[in-house]
Structure 1
Amino acid sequence: MLDPRTYRGKVYTVLRYLLSLYILVGVVVRVFNEGGSRSGKTFCTFDFLVDICMQGDRAWNIYVFRSTLQDCKEYSLADFKKKLILRGDYDPDCLTGENVRPDYRIGKSVIHFRGLDKMDRKEGYDCDIVYFNEMLDDISQSQFENITMRCTTMIIGDWNPKYTQHWAFDMEGQPDTFFTHTTYRDNPFCPLAVRRRIESYEPTPDNDAAGTSDPYRWNVYGLGMRAAQEGLIYPNINWIDSFPADLEHVILGLDFGFTKDPTALVRTAVRGSDLYAEKLLYSPIDDPEILYQAVKPFFTKKTYCFADSADKYASNPEGMINSLVARGLPVMKVNKYHGSLVDGIYLVKNFRLNFVRSRELQNEVNAYVWDSVNGIQLLKPKDGNDHLLDAIRYDVMSEHKNFLTT
């Protein structure tokens, strides 16, 4: 009979081994734990963090991050407390700031629980170990890099592989970087009811007959395999390496971002039933002159641009669109109306989509899903990271729709 107080799983063993190996050479090691639901990867990581702190041979400074502070408290901290209670090691007096900035102290060491939405410093904090719990959930590459550049010993991340493309996957195979893979079968404490639920997703004849089979859920949450997210708005993208040089009637699409969201510029063209698109610019720009200097190189004598009509400075003579026009660039407002968002999406979906591969565009496509309430899909996209896709839609709504054949 296995004892949860003393049992240490597969991911734990890997983390202990790599720490002992790399701490001797002074190189920061990265360990990313990819796996299905209830595979034990989060509990293993917390066991590892608690055990090295309890050794008492040094004062560890550790940060646990999630995309929001609310999620960090409701899920990461809750799992941490649950694991310590199962071990018989939880001490409520060691937890401070639970409702604001949770810290848990173990001897001289401290484990901080933080949300990226409440970061009070862009570049992160000095730390020995940083752990990104559910790293695929709205954690950007720039946030990851800003935080990890101040880490001295180990970087840990984990996730359910619910996408097929993500910037995190690009780190696989890089020096001093290791990926692990686990499933619910690696967790001897996975409750029987949960195990049966996960196995009900497997596309077997019995599950098909019962109406429970779900290939996506089985691949992601059962087998821990990368798969496309449910409800993807653009599930079929042909990713290409470069924008064809022989395309005619190339136009630009522009979606404004100011301080937090990026300004997204794309170029698009149509050939037959194929729509081609490429990211050109992806960065917050809050100044009309800076925007002009950034987009000007992409204009030719034949190029014009359709831009977001939601201009932050529309009432100002130096508004974004007005300023670009005043500086000689042919930029026009896209015509928006009630229902134009969904209409535009379906116009885009009428084309075969050929997008030039970029991390930003791949991340947007992977996260662009139909919204839902209580499992019922709604006819509107979920708000989120869609700046490049919006810019592509502006071009299709304004110009490329004229090339669709009926």
Structure 2
Amino acid sequence: MIQETTSLRKIAALKKRIKVIRGGQGAGKTISILILLINHASSKAGREILILSSELTKMRLTVIKDFVKLMRQIGIYNESRFIAGTLYRFPNGSFIKFIGLDKSDVGKGLRSDVAYFNEVNKIDFESYRQVASRAGQVYADYNPDAEFYIDTDVIGREDCDFLQLTFQDNELLSDNERSEIMLYKHNGFYEDGTIKNNYWANLWNVYGLGNIGNLQGVIFENWNIVNDIPTEAQLLGYGLDFGFTNDPTALISVHKFNSELYIKELIYKTRLTNNDIVQRMIELGVDKYKDIIADSAEPKS
């Protein structure tokens, strides 16, 4: 028997084509979406439903395991209908297929009535775009470790519903996990709300409240501004973040001297095409024999 939660009711109320569900730990996002998809597949004939994540191996331990458990609870699971543990065919001709996007081009050309991106923040933009643009309905859920393309380019579209959930929306969460989540707040903040510890405060912000946070270990605090890079410093390479209209293109050079890194801003400008970027690199004398680490998720390049 399936018990209803606040999370399930809130997600079921979303009506637009794209449904984005951002949430913290224990919010019941995945279980609620699976319940809705199982109901959709079993009650409507001939539906084609895709459930996608970054890795199929991990899916077997998480979302596929949850799917089988729910199907058993509902009382409709038939192992002979679950082909290779990745494709479940319902008696009415509908199916749910689980796809890992860790192989190149696996998502190209896939059409569906419903596409559900589980932990969409771990899926690159191009894979998301290929599948989402061909789907009748889209569900996407994630823990907001850091801002990414869903936050900047999808939420806010006219055809997108956005919902933020927390563990407080999941009445079925165990007392143990609820206590662990509350520990993030206790360790991160004093009673007056001031920050006690940045690490725990970020965990509470992301996994407790479902707000966008900072990836731990990628925000550098021990830095300062210098007038010049030492002449003896070694050029290690370059970093390039593509932009175009509102987002600036950024190019930096990275140097090392006496175990310290020196970063020099070379380009920071909006509305640059790829040809513009190349021309600016030539003008700046960028060393073409050094590595340039670029933003691989940028859609136009």
User: TM-score higher than 0.5 here?
Assistant: yes
Q: Indicate if the aligned counterparts of 1:12 and 1:44 stay in contact, CA closer than 8 A.
A: yes
Report the Cα distance in structure 1 between the residues aligned to 2:222 and 2:143, rounded to whole angstroms: 22
Distance 1:72 1:299, change over 3 A: same
Q: Which residue of 2 aligns with 1:36?
A: 24
Letter in structure 1 aligned against 2:28: G
Q: Indicate if the aligned counterparts of 1:73 and 1:113 stay in contact, CA closer than 8 A.
A: no
Matched, 1:53 2:41: yes
Letter in structure 2 aligned against 1:53: A
Aligned pair partner of 1:75 in 52, 62, 73: 62
- By how many angstroms is 1:154 displaced? 0.6
What pairs with 1:310-325 in structure 2 (closer than 5 Å)?
none
Report the Cα distance in structure 2 between the residues aligned to 1:74 and 1:189, rounded to whole angstroms: 20
Q: Deviations over 1:348-396 (max 9, x none)?
A: xxxxxxxxxxxxxxxxxxxxxxxxxxxxxxxxxxxxxx9238xxxxxxx
Q: Deviations over 1:171-207 (max 9, x none)?
A: 221111011111111111101111111111113559x
Q: Indicate if the aligned counterparts of 2:5 and 2:171 stay in contact, CA closer than 8 A.
A: no
Q: Which residue of 2 aligns with 1:388?
A: 294
Q: Which structure 1 residue ranges, 4+ long, deviate > 6 Å from structure 2?
A: none
Q: Which residue of 1 aligns with 2:285?
A: 304
Aligned pair partner of 1:225 in 188, 211, 234: 211
What pairs with 1:1-400 in structure 2 (closer than 5 Å)?
5-19=1-15, 29-55=17-43, 57-98=44-85, 102-107=86-91, 108-118=93-103, 121-137=106-122, 139-151=123-135, 153-163=136-146, 165-170=147-152, 171-202=154-185, 203-205=188-190, 214-234=200-220, 267-268=251-252, 275-278=264-267, 296-299=278-281, 302-306=283-287, 331-333=288-290, 387-388=293-294
Letter in structure 2 aligned against 1:388: A
Q: Deviations over 1:63-101 (max 9, x none)?
A: 000111112222121121223334344332221112xxx
Higher relative contact order (CA 8 A, sep 6+): 2
Report the Cα distance in structure 1 between the residues aligned to 2:205 and 2:10, rounded to whole angstroms: 24
Distance 1:112 1:332, change over 3 A: closer
Distance 1:16 1:255, change over 3 A: closer
Report the Cα distance in structure 2 between the residues aligned to 1:274 and 1:232, rounded to whole angstroms: 15
Corresponding residue SS for 1:70: helix
Corresponding residue SS for 1:200: helix
Q: Indicate if the aligned counterparts of 2:7 and 2:170 stay in contact, CA closer than 8 A.
A: no
- By how many angstroms is 1:126 displaced? 1.5
Q: Percent sequence identity over matched residues?
A: 23
The structure number with the bigger radius of gyration is 1
Distance 1:33 1:192, change over 3 A: same
Letter in structure 1 aligned against 2:57: Q
Q: Indicate if the aligned counterparts of 1:33 and 1:158 stay in contact, CA closer than 8 A.
A: yes
Report the Cα distance in structure 2 between the residues aligned to 1:61 and 1:76, rounded to whole angstroms: 18
- Provide structure 2 residue ranges, at least 5 long, that are not aligned to the other structure: 224-234, 241-248, 255-261, 296-301
Corresponding residue SS for 2:294: helix
Distance 1:76 1:17, change over 3 A: same
Q: Indicate if the aligned counterparts of 1:130 and 1:148 stay in contact, CA closer than 8 A.
A: yes
Report the Cα distance in structure 1 between the residues aligned to 2:60 and 2:25, rounded to whole angstroms: 19
Letter in structure 2 aligned against 1:144: Y
TM-score, scaled relative to structure 2: 0.73
Q: Indicate if the aligned counterparts of 2:238 and 2:253 stay in contact, CA closer than 8 A.
A: no
Letter in structure 1 aligned against 2:83: T
CA RMSD of aligned residues (A): 3.7
Distance 1:78 1:119, change over 3 A: farther
Distance 1:332 1:204, change over 3 A: closer
Report the Cα distance in structure 2 between the residues aligned to 1:295 and 1:214, rounded to whole angstroms: 40
Letter in structure 2 aligned against 1:225: N
Q: Indicate if the aligned counterparts of 1:124 and 1:148 stay in contact, CA closer than 8 A.
A: no
Distance 1:42 1:175, change over 3 A: same
TM-score, scaled relative to structure 1: 0.55
- By how many angstroms is 1:45 displaced? 0.2
Report the Cα distance in structure 1 between the residues aligned to 2:166 and 2:218, rounded to whole angstroms: 24
Report the Cα distance in structure 1 between the residues aligned to 2:82 and 2:6, rounded to whole angstroms: 28
Q: Indicate if the aligned counterparts of 1:59 and 1:109 stay in contact, CA closer than 8 A.
A: yes
Distance 1:236 1:123, change over 3 A: farther
